[in-house]
Amino acid sequence: MKPYLSVILPAYNEEARIVPSLERRHKYLEAQDYSYEVVIINDGSTDKTKDLIKEKIKDWPHFRLESYKVNKGKGYATKYGMLKAKGKWRLFMDVDESVPLNEIERFWPYIKDYQIIIGSRYIEGGKITKKQPLIRRIISRGGNLLTQTLIAWGIKDTQCGFKLFSQASATEIFPLQTMERWSFDMELIAIAKKHGYKIKEVPIIWKEEAGSRLRAVKASARALKDLFVIFWNKIIGKYNK
């Protein structure tokens, strides 16, 4: 039976927090009145992540593990999970729960009118409970302004890792995704806009969790380069059907 909601969870070397993270998701989803699946993508972990997941979910029929041996990046893992998922609606999010799963309740009122609904920290009603360091805030806001100008006009927060896609939009957009690491969020928005999808930004509660592997300056430089690649891909028609 096709689940109503698929939750896609990329994981790379998360042995320190994967078990409590899965427990919280299981507890929340079991209390809901819709069918679900959780698709965990082991992105080539070299620690005990894979074994801990297998042991934890062995008695949870709605949780399943997809795994491959070589680390490919968060973007690749998300795409892999989205295309393996079976749900009518498909949400990807982070293991660190910068955005808790229950924030999806803010999304449900909009599913009749939108096929893509994304969490936003920067629109009215969004809340950041633990602020990033100043340098990261400056880089993030500046980068977002440039992203809006080139590929995602009107979208205030392209990088929040909490995005919901309908089955139809996921199966059209994700096969066209080329970015395998941190810039994939921007690319998804660019592809969605290219294909005429309306995107709803919904305010969410967000905080930066300890253990994040993103390094601001290095990652931002890479994202800037990728942004121009995405812009060029749009111009040459790489995201056409």
**Whether 22 contacts 53, CB under 8 Å:** yes
Pairwise pLDDT comparison (51 vs 241), residue with the higher score? 51
User: 173-210, pLDDT tens digit by residue?
Assistant: 999 999 998 889 999 999 999 999 999 999 999 886 65
Measured distance CA(15)–CA(10) in Å, rounded: 13
Confidence of residue 6 (pLDDT cuts 50, 70, 90): very high
CA-to-CA distance for 190 and 240, rounded, in angstroms?
Answer: 11
pLDDT of residue 221: 75
pLDDT digits (tens, 9 = 90+) for 145-170: 788 788 888 898 888 899 999 999 99
| pLDDT for the residue numbered 206 | 85
**Residue 131: what pLDDT?**
65
Which tens digits make up the pLDDT trace of 87-131?
999 999 999 989 999 999 999 999 999 999 999 998 899 878 866
Let me know the angle formed at the C-alpha of 27 by 7 and 123, rounded to the nearest 5 degrees.
55
pLDDT mean across residues, the chain: 90
pLDDT at 5 over 60: yes
Q: What is the pTM of this model?
A: 0.91
Q: Where are the domains of the chain?
A: 5-95+103-236
Site of tokens 């060029």: 232
Torsion of CA 108, 85, 76, 46, to 10 degrees: 110
Higher pLDDT among residues 60 and 183, named by residue: 60
Give me the percent of the chain exceeding a pLDDT of 70: 89
Say if residue 79's pLDDT is above 70: yes
pLDDT value for 232? 95
The separation between the first and the last C-alpha atoms of the chain, rounded to the nearest angstrom, is 29
Q: Which fold has domain 5-95+103-236?
A: Spore Coat Polysaccharide Biosynthesis Protein SpsA; Chain A (3.90.550)
